[in-house]
Amino acid sequence: MTTSFPAPGDKASLEEGLVFTPKFDRDGLITVVTLGAEHGEVLMVAHMNAESLARTLETGEAWYWSRSRQALWRKGETSGQLQRVVELRTDCDQDALIMRVEVGGDGGCCHTGRHSCFYRVVKGDDGGPARLVMAE
């Protein structure tokens, strides 16, 4: 499995070129926003390192890097909520990704048992402290 990617070129190549040169942060990670393929809802935000990104591209299934466990993980390996990649996009300077997926199993994504990890809304009340309310 190839885990190295070409180094980014000049600004024009990076922004307008057709060579995928992901720009990992100082910890070797790139942020990925994962969307449901059918409706485009945000399911989760996670990180990939070069190995998980390479595995994702090679297998067509979502692989991530767990910052808390310091380990590679295949989404859904234990829950059955495998994510099949439908599309992977990078932003203009190739330091962030958006991945559209079809989710297997019960279609959920969050370890809490919910469909999406974004199930609460932040509310500010007339200058008071922010609070969370459950999304509808």
State the binding site for Zn(2+). 92, 110, 117
Q: Which two tokens stand for residue 35?
A: 């969307």
10 Å Cβ neighbour count for 102? Answer: 13
Known binding site for Mg(2+): residues? 91, 93, 95
Q: Give Cα 87 distance to the centre of its chain.
A: 12
Cβ-contact 63, 56 below 8 angstroms = yes
Q: Which two tokens stand for residue 86?
A: 């439908």
Binding residues: 91-93, 95, 110, 117
Task: Tell me which DSSP letter residue 98 carries.
Answer: E
Q: What is the CA radius of gyration of the chain?
A: 17
H-helix or E-strand containing 58?
Answer: helix 50-59
